[in-house]
Structure 1
Amino acid sequence: MRGEFHAPELDPEFFPGEYYGHFLLHDFANGWFQLDRLMLVRLLMAAVLLIIFALAFRNPKVVPSGLQNVVEIALDFVRVNIAEDILGKKEGRRFLPILATIFFTVLFMNIPTIIPGLNISPNARIGMPIVLAIAGYIAMIYAGSKRYGFGKYVKSSIVIPNLPPALHFLVVPIEFFSTFILRPVTLALRLMANFLAGHIILVLLFSATNFFFWQLNGWTAMAGVTSLAAILFTVYECIIIFLQAYIFALLVAVYIELSLHADSH
Structure 2
Amino acid sequence: MGGLLMSAKRSLVLTALAMLAFAANSVLCRLALREGAIDAASFTAVRLLSGALMLALILLLRDRQVKAMVTQGNHGSALALFVYAAGFSLAYVALATGTGALLLFGAVQATMVGVGLYRGERLARAQWLGLALALSGLVALMLPGATAPPLAAAIVMLVAGAAWGVYSLRGKGAADATAVTAGNFLRALIWLLPLALFAWPSQWPKVSGLLYAALSGALASGAGYATWYLALRGLASSTAATVQLSVPVLAALAGVLWMDEALTLRLVLASAAILGGITLVIRRVSSAK
Both proteins in one fold, TM over 0.5: no
User: Per chain length, whose mean CA-contact separation is higher, i.e. which structure has more relative contact order (CA < 8 Å, sep 6+)?
Assistant: 2
TM-score by structure 2 length? Answer: 0.28
The TM-score with structure 1 as length reference comes to 0.30
